[in-house]
């Protein structure tokens, strides 16, 4: 009898432990941590987008943003705030030192704000590349989204607006002439911080969460590569390789290495911006239209004229537009510094390509690879070699320009058509010309 009782107690003890373990598992709160510890830019925007997609999965119960940033691009901050407001699970922010400018906007969009000792939030004035305040239309847009975001989360919208507009007068809280920035204690007093904490664990303790598991979100390797190539510095290098590669391929057709490098650089330039939603189809079309015009100028229309110049302008314009968040030339939401950064990046890439062409061309001409595909030994005239494609009897002959020479084209002499070029000047079709050199594969001519 005693043995049976012992067996029954043991049985129910096992069942009880099983249910206890299941209950413990069910009450464990899964927390995903998103880190904003750098400038707000397209890379950060993509990071948050992917992190919130991960946080939306059933395995997670809440998200916490650990914040330490001086701000960044308004357009990307706006995207992040929109994604946070649409996020259906609890999302809190832990300001671990700084939440300035765009960082303040993102923080206000969260359900709860917690701050570490010595932290600050505010100073959300939109600034230009040199640090001076942007025109009022940008300030007005920033004031609007700060107010609406604060209202959406039940916070005082006037305080949020005072973080942007120094003309507002909120008595001793934010006297006119000073942009509002809160310390931790000030933020708590004015409803812009729930509590002062030192760690994320303290946030969970304050919410009476005893059992939890914390996962820090990290980008997958492929997205780390994409984020790397969204860096303006890397974009400048890729532009340099694209332009330099195309030039070298046109100068030494058939080698293939330069064109391969240009194509790889173009793919690495376009794909990250396309996946991030910046490179629109029409912008990519403009780029390839520019390439086509240059091809027409080189292979169809002799010389270098309208088609070539237009092609270069289209290519440069496309490379700049791809880096900007615009909707068919609508730059209303674009922060002033964005355009400057994009133009500087493209300009630096073009200058770098010129340097690459000048110095790289010299080094390439001295390389073993070039010697394998190019004739580098001297072919002297006294050994029977000649550089003349045409007979010397054509020297001094006169004729007419069969096409426009700018500076190359075709001429007619005694009813025969020849390739010809000038010393750099243009000769209109039908003008009289004289042959001044027969060396090479084209006749050198001048206008009579």
Reported as a single tens digit per residue, the pLDDT across 277-335 is 677 788 888 888 888 887 777 667 655 567 777 887 888 888 888 777 666 666 555 55
pLDDT at 19: 45
- DSSP letter at 57 equals S
Omega within 30 of 0 (cis) for the link into 324: no
For 351, the token pair is: 């200058």
pLDDT at 367: 60
Does pLDDT of 207 surpass 80? yes
pLDDT at 196: 96
pLDDT at 392: 72
3 state SS of 91: strand
**96-115 confidence digits (pLDDT tens):** 999 999 999 999 999 999 99
Task: Give mean pLDDT, residues 242-267.
Answer: 74
Listed ranges 21-25, 133-137, 305-309, 436-440; the one with the highest mean pLDDT: 436-440
pLDDT at 280: 76
pLDDT at 66: 97
Give how far Cα 160 sits from Cα of 112, 187, 325, Å. Answer: 15, 11, 25
Does pLDDT of 116 surpass 70? yes
- Considering the chain, what percentage of its residues have pLDDT values greater than 70? 76
Residue 71 burial class via C-beta count within 10 angstroms: exposed 0-12, middle 13-18, buried 19 and up: buried
Task: Give mean pLDDT, residues 112-138.
Answer: 82
Does pLDDT of 249 surpass 80? no
The mean pLDDT of the chain is: 80
Listed ranges 184-198, 264-278, 380-394; the one with the highest mean pLDDT: 184-198
pLDDT at 216: 95
CB-CB contact of 196 with 184 (8 Å): yes
Does pLDDT of 271 surpass 50? yes
pLDDT at 371: 56
pLDDT at 333: 57
d(CA 84, CA 105): 11
Does pLDDT of 255 surpass 70? no
Q: Are strands 181-183 and 398-401 parallel, antiparallel or unpaired?
A: unpaired
d(CA 218, CA 222): 11
Task: Give mean pLDDT, residues 107-136.
Answer: 85
Domains identified in the chain and CATH numbers: 24-218 (3.90.226.10), 222-373 (no CATH), 381-447 (2.40.50.140)
CB-CB contact of 93 with 67 (8 Å): yes
Listed ranges 22-26, 188-192, 267-271, 304-308; the one with the highest mean pLDDT: 188-192
- Of 138, 145, 141, which is closest to residue 81 (Cα–Cα)? 145
3 state SS of 444: strand
- Residues 6 or more apart from 409 whose CB is under 8 A from it? 302, 303, 401, 402, 403, 420, 421, 427
For 435, the token pair is: 């042959």
State the chain's maximal CA–CA distance in angstroms. 132
d(CA 197, CA 205): 10
d(CA 302, CA 310): 15
d(CA 443, CA 436): 8
Does pLDDT of 64 surpass 70? yes
Residue 358 burial class via C-beta count within 10 angstroms: exposed 0-12, middle 13-18, buried 19 and up: exposed
pLDDT band at residue 251 under the 50/70/90 scheme: low
Neighbours of 409 (CB within 10 A): 22
Lowest mean pLDDT among 2-6, 168-172, 234-238, 380-384: 2-6
Q: What is the dihedral of CA 239, 242, 272, 223, to 10 degrees?
A: -100
pLDDT band at residue 22 under the 50/70/90 scheme: very low
Does pLDDT of 341 surpass 90? no
Answer whether 0.85 is exceeded by the pTM. Answer: no
pLDDT at 12: 47
């Amino acid at each position: 009898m005693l043995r049976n009782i012992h067996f029954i107690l043991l049985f129910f003890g096992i069942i009880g432990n099983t249910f206890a373990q299941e209950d413990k598992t069910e009450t464990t709160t899964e927390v995903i941590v998103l880190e904003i510890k750098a400038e707000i830019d397209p890379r950060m925007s993509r990071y948050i987008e992917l992190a919130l997609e991960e946080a939306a999965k059933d395995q997670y119960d809440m998200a916490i943003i650990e914040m330490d940033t001086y701000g960044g691009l308004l357009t990307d901050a706006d995207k992040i705030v929109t994604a946070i407001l649409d996020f259906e699970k609890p999302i809190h922010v832990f300001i671990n030192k700084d939440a300035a400018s765009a960082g303040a906007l993102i923080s206000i969009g969260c359900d709860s704000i917690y701050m570490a000792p010595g932290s600050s939030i505010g100073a959300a004035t939109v600034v230009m590349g040199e640090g001076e305040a942007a025109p009022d239309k940008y300030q007005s847009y920033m004031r609007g989204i700060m107010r609406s975001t604060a209202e959406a989360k039940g916070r005082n919208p006037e305080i949020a607006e005072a973080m942007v507009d120094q003309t507002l007068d909120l008595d001793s809280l934010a006297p006119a002439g000073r942009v509002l920035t809160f310390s931790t204690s000030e933020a708590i007093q004015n409803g812009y911080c729930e509590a002062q904490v030192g760690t994320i664990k303290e946030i969970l303790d304050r919410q009476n969460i005893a059992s939890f598991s914390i996962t820090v979100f990290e980008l997958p390797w492929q997205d780390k590569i994409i984020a790397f190539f969204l860096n303006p510095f890397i974009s400048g290098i890729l532009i340099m390789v694209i332009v330099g590669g195309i030039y070298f391929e046109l100068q030494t057709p058939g080698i293939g290495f330069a064109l391969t490098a240009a194509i790889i650089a173009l793919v690495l330039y376009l794909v990250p911006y396309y996946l991030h939603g910046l490179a629109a189809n029409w912008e990519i079309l403009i780029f390839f239209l520019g390439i086509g015009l240059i091809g027409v100028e080189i292979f169809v229309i002799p010389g270098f004229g309208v088609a070539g110049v237009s092609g270069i302008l289209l290519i440069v314009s496309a490379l700049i537009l791809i880096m900007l968040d615009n909707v068919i030339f609508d730059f209303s939401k674009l922060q002033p510094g964005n355009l400057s950064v994009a133009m500087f990046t493209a300009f630096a890439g073009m200058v770098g390509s010129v340097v690459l062409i000048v110095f790289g061309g010299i080094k390439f001409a001295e390389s073993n690879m070039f010697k394998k595909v190019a004739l580098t030994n001297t072919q002297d005239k006294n050994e029977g070699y000649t550089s003349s494609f045409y007979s010397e009897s054509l020297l001094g002959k006169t004729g007419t320009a069969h096409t426009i020479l700018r500076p190359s084209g075709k001429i007619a002499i005694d009813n025969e058509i020849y390739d010809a070029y000038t010393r750099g000047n243009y000769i209109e079709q039908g003008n009289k010309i004289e042959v001044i050199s027969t060396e090479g594969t084209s006749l050198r001519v001048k206008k009579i």
